[in-house]
Amino acid sequence: MRIGVLTAGGDCPGLNAVIRSVTHRALTYHGDEVIGFEDGFKGLLEGRYRPLDLNSVSGILARGGTILGSSRLERARLHEAADNWRTICSGYGLDVLIPIGGEGTLTAARLLAEAGMPVVGVPKTIDNDISATDRTFGFDTAVTVATEAIDRLKTTAESHQRVMVVEVMGRHAGWIALESGMAGGAHGICLPERPFDPADLVAMVEERFARGKKFAVICVAEGAHPAEGTMPYAHGEIDAYGHERFAGIGARLAAELEQRMGKEARPVILGHVQRGGVPTAYDRVLATRFGWHAVEAAHKGAFGCMTALRGTAVDLVPLADAVMVLKRVPEDRMQEAESVF
Ligand code: F6P
């Protein structure tokens, strides 16, 4: 079998572990050939690829990023690929394509699969918001980085009797904010799923100070936004999922709290630090399992599917179940977190 693999969309710790796992399983167990396309679907359309062997994937398990490079592709070029999938497959001698990516990439994979191309997807995103899988690799690493940041911010906040507002990634879903906020012991968490009222945060901070705790840390997802009429803000853009995108929430919230409380507040935006660097052990293991199952799926002819974690088992689910609806934080998860603020 000739397997093509590519990584597309925003990068994520664990991508290299999947590439390594696919290559090992395919070459040593099945005697397959593996080629890696460079820079996502762009490499596929532009003929940029290289063969992958055991040496080319050696030493990459613990490396962040992706050895293949990644990119986002305009929809029109994807339709071009779907229309020409037969030529693409026969041009490269491909029996299957394994695209590793987030919602956008899996939507593209579905399009190609529906056009008839043999595709097995592998989900990735630090945001953990892909439906039909309990977890995506990259999420554990992002939560670990954000938790360490909260731990560190607490000591400087206490020295200066400040409120620190930590903005973490999560455009549409607040999984990173929820879990890093819980693990780091944040005193308030703001998620895209539940519009917040700054008055509640002010009350929480005042109550802490009255108890003699002279600092507070609030963890806010980048996609969080205030409830209507609770804070002056310009409305953001409505994205493809019907969610409002509101840039710079961390800085705006810190300014708002400072003004309302007369206490110093500082915003800290973690940004791409959460996506870079070495994957955690958990992410390396999940990514390796996904790679193994993707190759097995290809050999079974289970095309149009993606690997998914269900409980502790890795399963295959139709790509159609994984895209268009994001997995968001349910209200009961937020209630668990709130009980320890
Ligand atoms: O999808 C993952 C994600 O990390 C989002 O949380 C974030 O908004 C986005 O990627 C940032 O993407 P870019 O690298 O294009 O700035």
Q: Catalytic annotation on 239?
A: no
CATH 3.40.50.450 residue window(s) in the chain:
2-138+279-322
CATH class of 142-276: alpha beta
**For ligand 1, which residues put their CB under 6 angstroms from it?**
10, 102, 125-127, 169-171, 222, 275
CB atoms within 10 A of CB 314: 18
CA distance 76 to 73: 8
**266-319 pLDDT, tens digit each:** 999 999 999 999 999 999 999 999 999 999 999 999 999 999 999 999 999 999
pLDDT of residue 244: 67
- For residue 262, which amino acid is it? G
Question: Which of 11, 32, 127, 140 is the catalytic position?
Answer: 127
Tell which wins on pLDDT, 238 or 231. 231
ipTM, 2 dp: 0.95
Give the pLDDT band (50/70/90) at residue 85. Answer: confident
Mutate to test the pocket of ligand 1, among 141, 171, 246 (most ligand atoms within 8 A of CB): 171
Tell which wins on pLDDT, 76 or 118. 118
Residue 170 Cα: closest atom of ligand 1: 6
DSSP string, 307-339: EEEETTEEEEEEHHHHSSSB----HHHHHHHHT
- For residue 286, which amino acid is it? L
Give the pLDDT band (50/70/90) at residue 78. Answer: confident
Over residues 208-225, mean pLDDT? 96
CA distance 187 to 135: 25
pLDDT of residue 74: 83
pLDDT of residue 233: 67
Give binding residues for ATP as ranges. Answer: 10, 72-73, 102-105
CATH class of 2-138+279-322: alpha beta
Task: Say what percent of the chain tops pLDDT 70.
Answer: 97
pLDDT of residue 162: 98
Give the pLDDT band (50/70/90) at residue 77. Answer: confident
Residue 234 has pLDDT above 90, yes or no: no
Mean pLDDT of the chain: 94
Residue 273, classed as helix, strand or coil, is helix
Residue 21 has pLDDT above 90, yes or no: yes
186: nearest Cα among 210, 212, 211, 205: 205
**136-154 pLDDT, tens digit each:** 999 999 999 999 999 999 9
- For residue 53, which amino acid is it? D
51-61: b or e for each residue (b if 16 or more CB lie within 10 Å)?
Answer: ebeeebbeebb
CATH 3.40.50.460 residue window(s) in the chain:
142-276
